[in-house]
Amino acid sequence: MKKCVGKPVPEWDLAHRLPINRSVGPVVQDFGSTFSINSAFMDVIEPSFLEKQWFVTGVALAFLCIGIGPYIYFMTHADPAPAFWMFVFNCTAVLPIAIFGTIVWKFGRGLFFGLRYRPIRFHRETHRLYAIRARRFFAKPGEGDVIWEAPWTEDSIFCLHRESTSFGTIFHIRHYAVDDHGNVTQVFSIGREWTGNRQVEMALAQWNYLCTYMKDGPNGLPKPMLFHTQNETLRESYLFSMYSFGMRAPVVIRLLTMPLILLFTVMRVFANATCRNPVWPAAIERISVIAPDDHYAEPRPGTPVGWGDTVLAQQRGEYPDDPKTTDKGWTGASDGRLHAATWLDNPTGHTS
């Protein structure tokens, strides 16, 4: 996302803006993007929370590859050689240190010795989003961690972002803040990622979920797919790693990928051990007090939290499986997938 800063908002993103005052599809549903919900605010994840194990493992591998430099140095200095070749060998040894060291520094700073998760708070009373972005190491009392604010207004730029990767085309919801010249000053993603055009329907249902909450509150809102834990256990780290290869992957695929799953689990646990939970500034804590009689405050005692407990509760019939509802204000096509395909081609002409 950093490559967008200082440049205009991508044309595709502007063409696929997400309005806050009207529906973008027939379904209202959460797809695993929620930490907690109550009458005052809802805390939502960002995409990197689900895929942390991939990045952590990549950074750890890059860190090990730094050792290629010293290895080349000692191997080439075992026997004397002409000065020219010694210079070439030294440059060759420095090259992997510079390349892989840059990767570790650039991508590892927020993964190690940072924050275990970075919530985005949808606050109904202030009509604003508060996104924790980075750990503040030398915070003054009440200052908390670094946050960005985004107004929940029709002028704010929320959109469905599309990007082509080695894993295919992915989509996620973004917010852009721009300066007077239309250039991006801040950008962050909301919720999770969706892979391929077939999952755009899910992305639109997720946006309806967020908009419905900000407009009408939690009353009548379907339960989230699950409440993500804010105190991750070893079992949860394992399930994050396993589900990253597919929620419904066949047993054969999971057996074949088990070595990677176990490696990802270890790396995710290690990264979490070096980090701490985020700290909200005192000013935001003051406006985020949950009333003791708030009947919508979740998760509460008895509500399953995390992948493992939620799946077991669904099997016992104690938590709804695939909870969703129909958007009351929707007047367009009732087939969500067909509408999503049409919306991709003409987003402004197919919203109710």
Residue 114 forms part of a structural domain: no
Greatest Cα pair distance, the chain, in angstroms, is 81
Residue by residue, what is the 3-state secondary structure of 238-277?
Answer: HHHHHHCCCCCCCHHHHHHCHHHHHHHHHHHHHHHHHCEC
Distance CA 236, CA 265 (A): 9
Residue 315 forms part of a structural domain: yes
**Does residue 153 sit in the same domain as residue 208?**
yes
Residue 55 forms part of a structural domain: no
Residue 250 forms part of a structural domain: no
**Does residue 203 sit in the same domain as residue 100?**
no
**Does residue 89 sit in the same domain as residue 147?**
no
**Does residue 136 sit in the same domain as residue 103?**
no
Residue 264 forms part of a structural domain: no
Nearest residue to 324 via CA among 25, 27, 42, 43: 27
When computed from its CA atoms, the radius of gyration of the chain, rounded to whole angstroms, is: 23
**Does residue 282 sit in the same domain as residue 338?**
yes
**Does residue 184 sit in the same domain as residue 82?**
no
Residue 349: what pLDDT? 57
Residue 26 forms part of a structural domain: yes
Rounded to the nearest 5 degrees, what angle is found at the Cα of 242, between the Cα atoms of 239 and 243? 85
CA 6 to chain centre: 22
Please give the residue range of the domain that contains residue 39: 2-46+119-231+277-345
- Are 30 and 225 in contact, with CB atoms under 8 Å apart? yes
**Does residue 81 sit in the same domain as residue 210?**
no
**Does residue 41 sit in the same domain as residue 186?**
yes
Please state the pTM of the whole predicted model.
0.90
**Does residue 81 sit in the same domain as residue 223?**
no
Q: Is the dihedral of CA 264, 115, 206, 15 positive or negative?
A: negative
**Does residue 71 sit in the same domain as residue 126?**
no
Q: What residue type is assigned to position 227 of the chain?
A: F
Residue 254 forms part of a structural domain: no
- Walk along the chain (352 residues) and give the pLDDT tens digit of each residue: 778 888 999 999 999 999 999 999 999 999 999 999 999 999 999 999 999 999 999 999 999 999 988 888 888 877 777 887 778 888 888 998 999 999 898 888 889 999 999 999 999 999 999 999 999 998 899 999 999 999 999 999 999 999 988 778 999 999 999 999 999 999 999 999 999 999 999 999 999 999 999 999 999 899 999 999 999 999 999 999 999 888 778 889 889 999 999 999 999 999 999 999 999 999 999 999 999 999 999 999 999 999 999 999 999 999 999 999 998 888 887 888 888 988 998 887 544 4
- Are 191 and 217 in contact, with CB atoms under 8 Å apart? no
Residue 237 forms part of a structural domain: no
**Does residue 103 sit in the same domain as residue 135?**
no
Report the number of distinct structural domains present in the chain.
2
Q: Output the DSSP codes for 4-57.
A: GBTSBPPHHHHHTB--SSS-SSSEE---S-EEEE-SSEEEE--HHHHHHHHHHH
**Does residue 227 sit in the same domain as residue 298?**
yes
Distance CA 84, CA 63 (A): 29
